[in-house]
């Protein structure tokens, strides 16, 4: 009886009252229709069919689960096979319908991220925008949901996280007070000190910058901090929520001394989540993430900044038209995005050029070098210039991606890597049509991504559920109790041999990183002094930079400012290593077929295929052809077990990729701590000298070689984790299929009705896919045959 309690976590009771059945059905259908308002009719039909398949599958699984629970409820002991089955059913029932698709809008100050989000969600001025200064000051996530109102949650730093930042801020301020007067004056404070003074004054009031850490701990903040460290806002209208939200996410002016409680707690804010009611433009399941370009001085916010980038499956690098040529900011952001492809979940990267309505016609005509056709208007010039930018930047970006990523990466197959958008023209349409602003094109991209993901998820879900129902139905049949025990020792030996071969294949796969890693180490040893010297030099000499350098040392080599480019000495020093290993690292974790044995996932797929083929062979030899459920179940469970490994691998690869910089940072920590203690005359030069000598010493003692060993150790740990998971899961599954003595075929509740319904649903998968293709073809045909909607723009 005690064993049974493990499975009674959540009983799922159907609603039996006839009074509520029909209204509930109508309301659910209405809710489902509302969820798909963002899609054209053809895509709505496909989504509704997939939603129906998933919903009916969940109902079948729930009914089956309840029957099994009721059949074993009074048993003193439950057979292992039934326990396994109940756990698998419950896991499938509780599996999320669809993991969110995070689309990161990654750009520097003033690039137009907030304006772009406002246009995509069709809410002008919803997020704060300004052409003159930083507006969005923290990470903001925007999504649509099932709520009736506009809602927002403002997440604050915990008490411990704020104390950590407070200690760093006061340390930075008070250690710079003793610096030589010739190096600092009131009008030439470094960015780090300005930021620290501003935060303390905002949170505690004027004069806070002169107080000690202990005094500030006793001081009363100006704003009210909720005990939950979360502020919830709601409003009936978008404009109403925008007004409430504005003080929390708009960067406050440093020369402004307002008295509102919202602005006073602004330094504590680390994340804002905004949820819109069901949207006609942004489908539920998509999250737009406004990501600042440089991170944050606070360790927790900086960690969240990095994780926000890594969890995005799509990254749009945002750069305005005036910075795209000659500017370095978008290049740095593209490099960071490509690292996200290596270490995170990112599969698509695109460059989104904003404010593309801007063009000074006389200057453009003077510099124009293409085409013989005369330009007749500002509109023609803008369209021609935008097309040239797309062609040029698309080639540059594709070449850059090819150098960093495997040749078969999904992003390289994209037809468009560059978009030219104009949020202002989207609203005004004085110069461009709505389609020409390319806002609708971005929305279409979002819809396609969600539709593709939903299709893959439902197909996998229904197939996995069908395999379980095959097994469940066989358990409830008593005809085979005496004759169906299979001696599978041959299969066990085969599995053991294949696991050994898989281990060797993984070793060979990971061995591809050794040579480029060694070459990267050699390059790093020969270039680290030059790289470090470049990081420690600023065009204005030491004026103001000594405080920034102090902040770098206080944060173990990293400084993230809201206005300056991100500084990461550890990453800079290890960059020569990453330049060597990036292409190989990408090949190891790619999903395409291996051409040289360097890809990990295909080795696991080959292992799965060999097991499935062997099971078919043994099954035919042992009579499975008369009772095919065993083969179907075992093959399906192999797919489920090994399919789950991909998520495990993706989660581990970030730690592997970052192990080089983490190792270097740990080795240099004493050096950073020593430099951070320096005050007095010529403190900046003395800090630089400590850093140079410290890095020299660590390099001489094998810093890069230790980083190499730690990365190789992480690869070894991944291999061990994969083989342990495979061994344990497959051993459990084979035990289940060959256990004669623990009631494998114990008579359970009759689930033939559920099995037959599941069989129909499984057959429906192909029909749904075929219907989607037919509808898409018809839609494309009608679009080709219809007259163009493009017309002359509206005139002012």
User: Alpha carbon 656 to chain centroid distance?
Assistant: 17
Which ranges constitute the DSSP H helices of 622-702?
A: 629-676, 683-700
More confident residue, 773 or 396: 396
Cβ-Cβ contacts under 8 Å for 168 (sequence gap 6 or more): 297, 298, 554, 555
pLDDT digits (tens, 9 = 90+) for 432-442: 999 999 999 99
Q: What is the DSSP string of 411-427?
A: GGG-S-SEEE--HHHHH
Q: CA distances (Å), 536 to each of 31, 411, 727, 761, in order?
A: 58, 36, 51, 64
More confident residue, 780 or 790: 780
Specify burial of residue 273 (Cβ count, 10 A radius: 0-12, 13-18, 19+). middle
**b/e map 546-582, b = 16+ CB within 10 Å:** bbbbbbbbbbbbbbbbbeeebbbbbbbbbbbbbbbbb
Whether residue 61 has pLDDT greater than 60: yes
Q: Read off the tokens for 724.
A: 């342990």
What is the predicted pLDDT for the residue at 560? Answer: 80
Query: Under a CB-based contact definition with an 8 Å cutoff, are residues 318 and 350 in contact?
Result: no
- Alpha carbons 455 and 769: distance in angstroms, whole number: 8
- Alpha carbons 419 and 50: distance in angstroms, whole number: 31
Backbone φ/ψ region at 14: left (φ over 0), alpha (ψ -120 to 50), beta: beta
pLDDT digits (tens, 9 = 90+) for 548-588: 888 899 889 998 876 667 889 999 999 999 999 998 898 88
φ, ψ dihedrals at 143, nearest 5°: -145, 170
Q: Read off the tokens for 408.
A: 């078969």
Whether residue 737 has pLDDT greater than 80: no
Residue 274 pairs in a beta bridge with 142, 152
Q: Any idea which of 289-303, 530-544, 678-692, 759-773 has the lowest mean pLDDT?
A: 530-544
Q: Is 224 helix (H, G, I), strand (E, B) or coil?
A: coil
Whether residue 400 has pLDDT greater than 60: yes
Compute the C-alpha angle 209/211/215, nearest 5°: 135
More confident residue, 352 or 258: 352
What is the predicted pLDDT for the residue at 180? Answer: 44
- Alpha carbons 279 and 367: distance in angstroms, whole number: 44
φ, ψ dihedrals at 753, nearest 5°: -65, -45
What is the predicted pLDDT for the residue at 125? Answer: 84
Q: CA distances (Å), 209 to each of 171, 204, 205, in order?
A: 11, 9, 9
Q: Is 474 helix (H, G, I), strand (E, B) or coil?
A: helix
pLDDT digits (tens, 9 = 90+) for 10-46: 433 343 333 334 344 444 445 555 667 777 777 888 8
- Taking residues 383-405, report their average pLDDT: 89
Residue with structure tokens 């993430």? Answer: 289
Query: Under a CB-based contact definition with an 8 Å cutoff, are residues 36 and 47 in contact?
Result: yes
Cβ-Cβ contacts under 8 Å for 204 (sequence gap 6 or more): 211, 216, 219, 221, 222
For a pLDDT cut of 70, what percent of the chain falls above it?
78
Query: Under a CB-based contact definition with an 8 Å cutoff, are residues 600 and 715 in contact?
Result: no
- Alpha carbons 411 and 590: distance in angstroms, whole number: 12
Read off the DSSP letter of residue 186. Answer: G
Average pLDDT, the chain: 80
Query: Under a CB-based contact definition with an 8 Å cutoff, are residues 777 and 499 in contact?
Result: no
Cβ-Cβ contacts under 8 Å for 699 (sequence gap 6 or more): 525, 528
Specify burial of residue 388 (Cβ count, 10 A radius: 0-12, 13-18, 19+). middle
Residue with structure tokens 């430099």? Answer: 675
Q: Is 495 helix (H, G, I), strand (E, B) or coil?
A: helix
Query: Under a CB-based contact definition with an 8 Å cutoff, are residues 142 and 290 in contact?
Result: yes
pLDDT digits (tens, 9 = 90+) for 517-543: 999 999 999 999 999 998 888 644 445
What is the predicted pLDDT for the residue at 425? Answer: 93
What is the predicted pLDDT for the residue at 13? Answer: 39
HSE (CB half, 13 Å, CA atoms) of 301?
29
HSE (CB half, 13 Å, CA atoms) of 322?
9
pLDDT digits (tens, 9 = 90+) for 627-659: 555 666 677 777 777 777 887 888 889 899 999
Q: Is 289 helix (H, G, I), strand (E, B) or coil?
A: strand
Q: Within 10 Å of residue 111's Cβ, how many Cβ atoms? A: 24
More confident residue, 147 or 272: 272
- Alpha carbons 356 and 107: distance in angstroms, whole number: 16
Q: Read off the tokens for 704.
A: 């890069």
- Alpha carbons 209 and 195: distance in angstroms, whole number: 11
pLDDT digits (tens, 9 = 90+) for 295-310: 777 777 788 888 888 8
pLDDT digits (tens, 9 = 90+) for 740-759: 444 444 556 678 888 889 88
CA dihedral 166, 172, 174, 176 (to 10 degrees): -170
3-state secondary structure 294-333: CCCCCHHHHHHHHHHHHCCCEEEEEEECCCCCCCCHHHHH
pLDDT digits (tens, 9 = 90+) for 452-465: 899 889 998 998 88
φ, ψ dihedrals at 596, nearest 5°: -130, 15
* Residue 116 pLDDT level (bands cut at 50, 70, 90): very high
Q: Within 10 Å of residue 408's Cβ, how many Cβ atoms? A: 15
pLDDT digits (tens, 9 = 90+) for 328-350: 777 888 888 888 888 878 889 99
CA dihedral 202, 205, 206, 212 (to 10 degrees): -100
Q: Read off the tokens for 731.
A: 């051993």
Q: Read off the tokens for 758.
A: 């599941």
Backbone φ/ψ region at 794: left (φ over 0), alpha (ψ -120 to 50), beta: beta
- List the one residue out of 402, 363, 366, 371 whose CA is nearest residue 388: 371
Q: Any idea which of 510-524, 629-643, 692-706, 729-743 has the lowest mean pLDDT?
A: 729-743
Which ranges constitute the DSSP H helices of 536-624?
A: 545-554, 569-588, 600-621
């Amino acid at each position: 009886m005690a064993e049974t309690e493990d499975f009674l976590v959540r009983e799922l009771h159907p609603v039996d009252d006839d009074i509520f059945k029909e209204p509930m059905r109508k309301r659910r259908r209405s809710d489902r229709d509302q969820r798909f308002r963002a899609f054209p009719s053809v895509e709505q039909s496909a989504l509704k069919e997939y939603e129906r398949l998933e919903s009916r599958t969940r109902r079948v699984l729930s009914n089956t689960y309840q029957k099994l629970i009721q059949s074993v409820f009074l048993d003193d002991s439950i057979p292992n096979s039934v326990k396994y089955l109940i756990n698998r059913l419950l896991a499938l029932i509780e599996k999320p319908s669809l993991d969110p698709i995070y689309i990161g809008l990654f750009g520097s100050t003033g690039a137009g991220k907030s304006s772009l989000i406002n246009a995509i969600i069709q809410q002008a001025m919803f997020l704060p925008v300004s052409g003159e200064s930083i507006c969005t000051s923290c990470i903001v996530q925007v999504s649509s949901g099932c709520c009736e109102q506009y809602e927002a949650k403002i997440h604050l730093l915990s008490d411990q996280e704020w104390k950590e930042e407070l200690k760093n801020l006061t340390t930075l301020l008070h250690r710079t007070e003793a610096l030589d007067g010739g190096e600092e004056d009131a009008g030439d404070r470094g960015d780090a000190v300005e930021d620290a003074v501003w935060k303390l004054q905002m949170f505690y009031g004027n004069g806070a910058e002169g107080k000690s850490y202990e005094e500030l701990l006793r001081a009363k903040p100006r704003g009210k901090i909720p005990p939950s460290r979360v502020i919830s806002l709601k409003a009936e209208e978008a404009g109403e929520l925008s007004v409430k939200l504005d003080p929390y996410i708009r960067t406050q002016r440093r020369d402004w001394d307002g008295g509102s409680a919202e602005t006073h707690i602004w330094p504590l804010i680390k994340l804002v989540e905004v949820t819109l009611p069901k949207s006609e433009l942004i489908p539920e399941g998509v999250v737009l993430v406004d990501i600042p370009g440089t991170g944050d001085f606070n360790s927790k916010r900086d960690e969240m900044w990095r994780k926000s980038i890594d969890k995005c499956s799509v990254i749009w690098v945002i750069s305005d038209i005036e910075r795209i040529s000659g500017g370095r900011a978008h290049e740095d952001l593209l490099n960071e995005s490509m690292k996200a492809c290596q270490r995170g979940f990112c599969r698509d990267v695109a460059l989104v050029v904003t404010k593309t309505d801007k063009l000074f016609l006389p200057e453009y005509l003077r510099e124009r070098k293409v085409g013989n056709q005369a330009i007749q208007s500002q509109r023609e010039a803008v369209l021609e210039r935008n097309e040239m930018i797309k062609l040029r930047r698309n080639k540059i970006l594709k070449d850059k991606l090819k150098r960093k990523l495997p040749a078969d990466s999904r992003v390289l197959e994209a037809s468009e890597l560059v978009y030219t958008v104009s949020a202002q023209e989207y609203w005004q349409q004085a110069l461009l049509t709505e389609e020409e602003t390319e806002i609708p094109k971005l929305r279409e991209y979002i819809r396609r991504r969600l539709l593709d993901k939903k299709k893959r998820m439902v197909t996998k879900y229904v197939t996995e559920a069908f395999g379980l129902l095959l097994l469940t139905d066989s358990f409830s049949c008593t005809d085979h109790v005496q004759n169906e025990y299979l001696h599978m020792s041959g299969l066990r030996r085969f599995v053991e041999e294949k696991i050994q071969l898989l281990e060797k294949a993984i070793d060979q796969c990971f061995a591809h990183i050794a040579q480029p890693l060694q070459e990267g180490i050699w390059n790093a040893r020969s270039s680290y002094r030059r790289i470090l010297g470049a990081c420690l030099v600023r065009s204005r000499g030491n004026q103001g930079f000594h405080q920034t350098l102090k902040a770098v040392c206080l944060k173990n080599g990293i400084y993230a400012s809201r206005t300056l480019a991100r500084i990461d000495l550890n990453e800079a020093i290890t960059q020569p290593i990453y330049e060597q290993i990036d292409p190989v690292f990408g090949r190891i974790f790619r999903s395409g077929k291996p051409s040289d044995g360097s890809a990990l996932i295909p080795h696991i797929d080959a292992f799965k295929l060999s097991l499935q083929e062997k099971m078919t062979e043994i099954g035919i030899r042992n009579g499975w052809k008369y009772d095919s459920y065993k083969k179907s179940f075992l093959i399906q469970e192999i797919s489920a077990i090994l399919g789950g490994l991909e998520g495990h691998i993706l989660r581990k690869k970030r730690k592997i990729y970052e192990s080089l910089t983490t190792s270097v940072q740990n080795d240099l920590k004493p050096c950073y701590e020593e430099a951070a203690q320096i005050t007095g005359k010529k403190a900046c030069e003395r800090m630089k000298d400590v850093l140079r000598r410290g890095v020299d010493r660590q390099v001489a003692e094998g810093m890069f070689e230790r980083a190499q060993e730690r990365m190789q150790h992480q690869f070894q740990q991944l291999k061990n984790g994969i083989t342990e998971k495979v061994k344990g899961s497959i051993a459990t599954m084979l035990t289940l299929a060959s256990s004669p003595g623990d009631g494998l075929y114990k008579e359970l509740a009759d689930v033939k009705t559920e099995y037959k319904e599941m069989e129909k649903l499984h057959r429906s998968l192909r029909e749904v896919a075929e219907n989607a293709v037919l509808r898409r073809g018809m839609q494309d045909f009608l679009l080709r045959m219809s007259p163009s909607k493009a017309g002359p723009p509206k005139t002012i």
